[in-house]
Structure 1
Amino acid sequence: MKFGISYSTPYYGVDPQKIVAFAQLAEECGFESIYLPEHIVLYPGAKVGTFEIPPALPYLDPLDCLSFIAATERILLGTGVLLLPYHHPVILAKRLATVDVLSGGRMRLLTVGLGALPGEAEAIGVDFATRGRRADEAIDVLRLLWAGGEEGVSHSGEFFTFTDLVSFPKPHQATHLPIHVGGSSRPAARRAGRLGNGYFPGGRPDPAQWDLVRATAAESGRDPDTLEYTRTATIDLSPERLADLTAEGVTRVVVSTSATSLDQQRKELTDFSHRFGL
């Protein structure tokens, strides 16, 4: 099992020294990866389900933040989740490759989602109803640009069209970056099976979702056994709960802590590390 840790700037703060210290602490404690969330804009009354999001929460740009903490030596960098339909893939391909190059090949846990706030899509000029198709095409464009050579690549789709584009630098010693798909819906599970390198539903999804991912991958001519399965948990995760997740096919657990002080975070991350022998 691999273990990641999430860092939520809305709750832990945006102090740059604290962000770096947290990332270094996670690395020292043996965590494989660190994840950051994304909201591009918020507004009064924005809700996810029945939860109303306080509009002044300070969400840092996850890629800029990950680039900043890439001064760590080993920990992999992830997003949970990047709102893919709200990014132009030509620009995003460059940004992701840049972070990967600067980190020595550690921008390897990109997790993308569709976004749940119609007002956020409207502010960016994206049709909320088409964001799923837009995300699918964006994944194709990212991979096309990363794999393309000096002769350039072309694409003509529903949302993006270009001719003979050349995008350098490439990801560090790779022709593409893994793309994990987030979301607990059946369409998200099918997207992960068709297009993803992994699935990260978050929360406590129906175990049948992973079966749907694997079945869709097989139907698409892909090997389901090559896909990673990531789930969330709290820092007090028990060995018994970990055994249950392992039995469900989970390959990575991303934990979070409610502690906001670095001293308390150090204690909780250290205890976790000792509990599971990281």
Structure 2
Amino acid sequence: MSTITPSTSTPHEPHDVAKVRIGFGLGTRTRLHDESFAAVVDALEELDFDSLWLSERISGDAPDPLVAMAYGAGRTERLKFGTSVMVLPGRNPVVLAKELATLASMSSGRLLPAFGLGAVDPIEQQAFGVERSERARIFDEALAVMRACWSGEPFSHHGDRFHYDDVVVRPAPARMDVWLGGIAPSELRRVGRLADGWLPSFVLPADAEAGRATIEQVCAEHDREIDDDHYGVLIPYGSGPVPDALAAVLARRRPDLDDVTQLIPGSWEALVSMVRAFVDVGTTKFVVLPIDEPGSAEGWVTHLRDAADALRPLEVG
């Protein structure tokens, strides 16, 4: 990946916004599954970034997020770790709840679990053993079971998919905030009903503003709320024009946009400008993800230092 020259502009501090935080994400195509991953984790900790988010793809080179988060948490003291996203349908919710509760406790609460329905891909669907039409229903029930597990108290559950009597799972985490993504109407309603945070991707500030309004309306209908600092966005970025193949994928994903390349800033300056625009509509949690990853541990460290120079001044609170 060619090096992007850091922006020389002076970042302004957003007004009336608390706790703006910036983390890094690794996509499903990342090859950071050797000693290079340790170099990235160490650099993120040293440069005081907020978090590292790991994607899941059984058939891809990306490391398993649960294993990678445990490895990273063991090397660090402050860096948070999230999933973007971990597939929930097809997993045993009690076992997964135990694993995540353990990791949350051992990392002093530095865990940010985000869940999804899973990729629409034959290999992935075979791996998780869930029909596409069943995913949403199983997701909702599995998350309800996991919430009950995290209470640390005995519970019983009898649903369409899962049946338990007097189950107790410990340790009970002090707090476990669940993040969900998506901007489709059904996804926004699920966030409003079930999530503690919202982290969509391939969106514009106007999408975030409208989506938040819908989520808050659904939250009110269910007598719940999401903290102001739990509205985020994942922003992929590059070092120049968006590749044609990726532009084609985005066009299918966002047919409502005339210019899908605006979803992916192509320089540090453009990325800084986009973050500011999201902050202006109330977004405070950012995960930036390079679409062209550096090819070596040394390249990653250099890239992250450039990123810190450009992005860290935007953080407030």
TM-score (norm 2): 0.75
**Which whole-Å CA distance do the structure 1 matches of 2:150 and 2:32 have between them?**
34
The total of aligned residue pairs comes to: 256
Q: Kindly state the Cα deviation for residue 9 of structure 1 after the two structures are TM-superposed.
A: 6.6
- Determine if contact 1:89/1:138 at 8 Å carries over to the other structure: yes
Q: Which residue of 2 aligns with 1:267?
A: 302
Q: Which residue of 2 aligns with 1:10?
A: 29
Give the counterpart of 1:115 among 98, 114, 118. Answer: 118
- Determine if contact 2:49/2:79 at 8 Å carries over to the other structure: yes
- RMSD over aligned Cα, in angstroms? 1.9
Give the counterpart letter for 1:186 in structure 2. P
Question: In the TM superposition, what are the counterparts of 1:54-73 in structure 2 within 5 Å?
Answer: 57-71=60-74, 72-73=76-77
Q: Which residue of 1 aligns with 2:141?
A: 137
Q: Does 2:51 correspond to 1:33?
A: yes
Give the counterpart letter for 2:137 in structure 1. R
The Cα offsets for residues 185-240 of structure 1, whole Å up to 9 and x where unpaired, read as 22111111111001111112533222211211112111244561111223725432
**Which whole-Å CA distance do the structure 2 matches of 1:123 and 1:269 have between them?**
34
Give the counterpart letter for 1:260 in structure 2. G
* SS of the residue 1:69 aligns to: helix
Q: Kindly state the Cα deviation for residue 266 of structure 1 after the two structures are TM-superposed.
A: 1.9
- Determine if contact 1:6/1:36 at 8 Å carries over to the other structure: yes
Q: Kindly state the Cα deviation for residue 70 of structure 1 after the two structures are TM-superposed.
A: 1.0
Give the counterpart of 1:240 among 244, 249, 273. Answer: 273
Q: Kindly state the Cα deviation for residue 118 of structure 1 after the two structures are TM-superposed.
A: 4.8
Q: Kindly state the Cα deviation for residue 265 of structure 1 after the two structures are TM-superposed.
A: 2.1
Give the counterpart letter for 1:194 in structure 2. R
**Which whole-Å CA distance do the structure 2 matches of 1:230 and 1:274 have between them?**
21
Give the counterpart letter for 1:273 in structure 2. A
The Cα offsets for residues 150-184 of structure 1, whole Å up to 9 and x where unpaired, read as xx21111111110011111222xx0x411001223
**Which whole-Å CA distance do the structure 1 matches of 2:36 and 2:137 have between them?**
38
**Which whole-Å CA distance do the structure 2 matches of 1:124 and 1:11 have between them?**
21
Q: Kindly state the Cα deviation for residue 124 of structure 1 after the two structures are TM-superposed.
A: 2.7
- The runs of 5 or more residues in structure 2 that have no matched partner are 1-19, 239-267
Q: Kindly state the Cα deviation for residue 102 of structure 1 after the two structures are TM-superposed.
A: 2.3
The Cα offsets for residues 90-122 of structure 1, whole Å up to 9 and x where unpaired, read as 111011012112222211x11111113252224
Give the counterpart of 2:167 among 156, 165, 168. Answer: 165
The Cα offsets for residues 130-161 of structure 1, whole Å up to 9 and x where unpaired, read as 21111111111111011032xx2111111111
Q: Does 2:184 correspond to 1:185?
A: yes
Provide the identity percentage: 33
- Determine if contact 1:197/1:226 at 8 Å carries over to the other structure: no
The Cα offsets for residues 237-276 of structure 1, whole Å up to 9 and x where unpaired, read as 5432222111222111101232232222222222222233
- Determine if contact 2:198/2:230 at 8 Å carries over to the other structure: yes
Give the counterpart letter for 1:18 in structure 2. S
Q: Which residue of 1 aligns with 2:219?
A: 217
Give the counterpart letter for 1:34 in structure 2. L
- Determine if contact 1:199/1:227 at 8 Å carries over to the other structure: no
Q: Does 2:72 correspond to 1:80?
A: no
Q: Which has the higher strand share?
A: 1
Give the counterpart letter for 2:110 in structure 1. R
**Which whole-Å CA distance do the structure 2 matches of 1:21 and 1:211 have between them?**
40
Give the counterpart letter for 1:112 in structure 2. F
Q: Which residue of 1 aligns with 2:131?
A: 127
Give the counterpart letter for 1:19 in structure 2. F
Give the counterpart letter for 1:202 in structure 2. S
Gap change, CA 1:10 and 1:243, over 3 Å in 2: closer
TM-score (norm 1): 0.85
- Determine if contact 2:114/2:180 at 8 Å carries over to the other structure: yes
